[in-house]
A and B are shown apart, each in its own frame.
Chain A
């Protein structure tokens, strides 16, 4: 009798321990499966949430190149100067406010081929969307023939504190007024901006710049060779800026 009861008691104890083990196993397995599930969901969901980085149905600026850059005046057999910039990057603003007009004038006279590469990556650092919106606005300005002036005016309007960004008012009203976009052109520009028609192109341009291996702005390249901005800043701020800049650019072509 006692022996049978003893055996039954032991069996029940074993059964309880087995159940406890199973429960612990289920907990451990459950946690592992849950983590795996989170990982899978994220791998599937995140890519669909991030905006497509390709050229979609949107508007491509008239001066856009196949490499998702802007070339206002395409001159052959001259140094090719690539400007990589982000409208929220203080260094880019400083470079543009000091030497932007010199670069643009060299392009206009056909001494160089100037290639604009807009980036929007500071939106990720600064947790806003001002680089994207400014780039969209500049690309829209190209549709009404005002890219270069608009590009310069954005940097002139750059906030003193990085991260404050640009208001829609600045981009769709103030700057167009400064660079002389009026009448039907203003309506067309504002429609383009309000509908973010150049957004797909801007996204593609930023990705193209990254794929070209540029990870910081401003970056200036001459025929693919780096032109350190520190060397640009050696040029005196006088009327000879374009000529001196051209001499510097030419010194970088033969490397």
Chain B
């Protein structure tokens, strides 16, 4: 392993830097998710309205009327989303089940990017409802590129933490260190 110091040097650097990047990724994605969830959780009916405003059913049915099954989905999504965001956010910040939490957070971002792109493509002007509020809003189309850019950035954070879940100051790493010691003791 350590015959030539020059070859080892960059590897060492990566091993030292990656956990810090993972920590940053966790805190950014986790922090934003937890805050976004917290701002919505106190007003679930409004959260449901925000989901409704995307009219996602119309992508499939092409008509305004909401099918019963989709209505149930809208209510479910609007109710669960704030809690899921808070839960995933806290797991990421604490670094618990980092890889799975980051995967869940990344999937949420993919869904959000898709949803915002779809209303943009269909010419629907709404407040994204990302941090509360929601519903139709004039001139909101101009904000879509920035919202998508923001979510892509968060997606990159999530993807990084899925790829390199080992990070600084995480419950995972402390747990792993303890377990490793036991294994070595046999």
Contacts of B1 in A (CB 8 A): none
B83 engages A210 (CB within 8 Å): no
Interface set, chain A 218-253, CB cutoff 8 A to B: none
Give complex CA distance A38, B87 in Å: 9
A38 engages B83 (CB within 8 Å): yes
B64 engages A213 (CB within 8 Å): yes
Contacts of A211 in B (CB 8 A): 65-66, 71
A215 engages B49 (CB within 8 Å): yes
Q: Within 8 Å of chain B (Cβ to Cβ): is A216?
A: yes
Closest Cβ of chain A to B181, distance in Å, is 5
Query: Which size bracket describes the interface of A in this complex?
Result: 20 to 34
Q: Within 8 Å of chain B (Cβ to Cβ): is A6?
A: no
A31 engages B96 (CB within 8 Å): yes
Contacts of B136 in A (CB 8 A): 215-216
Contacts of A32 in B (CB 8 A): 91, 96-97
Binds A, one of B12-20, B50-58, B109-117, B161-169: B50-58
Query: Do A210 and B66 form a contact, CB below 8 Å, given A17-B181, A21-B175?
Result: yes
Q: Within 8 Å of chain B (Cβ to Cβ): is A173?
A: no
Contacts of A14 in B (CB 8 A): 182, 185
B178 engages A21 (CB within 8 Å): yes
Query: Do A215 and B178 form a contact, CB below 8 Å, given A35-B90, A39-B83, A43-B79?
Result: no
Interface set, chain B 49-93, CB cutoff 8 A to A: 49, 52-53, 55, 58, 63-66, 71, 79-80, 83-84, 87, 90-91
Contacts of B175 in A (CB 8 A): 21, 24-25, 28
B133 engages A125 (CB within 8 Å): yes
Q: Within 8 Å of chain A (Cβ to Cβ): is B174?
A: yes
Give complex CA distance A31, B172 in Å: 12
- What 0/1 readout, one digit per residue, does chain A (8-38) give for beta carbons within 8 Å of chain B? 0010011001101100110110011001001
A124 engages B65 (CB within 8 Å): no
A124 engages B49 (CB within 8 Å): yes
Give complex CA distance A38, B49 in Å: 23
Interface SS of chain A: helix, strand, loop or mixed?
helix
Give complex CA distance A213, B87 in Å: 31
Q: Within 8 Å of chain A (Cβ to Cβ): is B153?
A: no
Chain A residue with the shortest CB-CB distance to B80:
A43
- What 0/1 readout, one digit per residue, does chain A (85-115) give for beta carbons within 8 Å of chain B? 0000000000000000000000000000000
Among A24, A43, A213, A215, chain B packs the most CB atoms within 10 A around the CB of A215
A121 engages B87 (CB within 8 Å): no
A214 engages B64 (CB within 8 Å): yes
B66 engages A21 (CB within 8 Å): no
A39 engages B87 (CB within 8 Å): yes
B44 engages A46 (CB within 8 Å): yes
Q: Within 8 Å of chain A (Cβ to Cβ): is B135?
A: yes
Contacts of B65 in A (CB 8 A): 211-213
B96 engages A21 (CB within 8 Å): no
B84 engages A39 (CB within 8 Å): yes
Q: Provide 5 A-B residue pairs closer than 8 Å at the C-beta atoms, listed in order of the A residue.
A: A10-B185, A35-B91, A50-B45, A213-B58, A215-B53
Instruction: Please give 20 more A-B residue pairs, beta carbons under 8 A apart, in addition to A42-B79, A121-B135.
Output: A14-B185, A17-B185, A21-B179, A21-B181, A24-B171, A24-B174, A32-B97, A39-B83, A46-B44, A50-B45, A121-B45, A124-B49, A125-B135, A212-B66, A213-B55, A213-B64, A215-B52, A215-B53, A215-B126, A215-B136
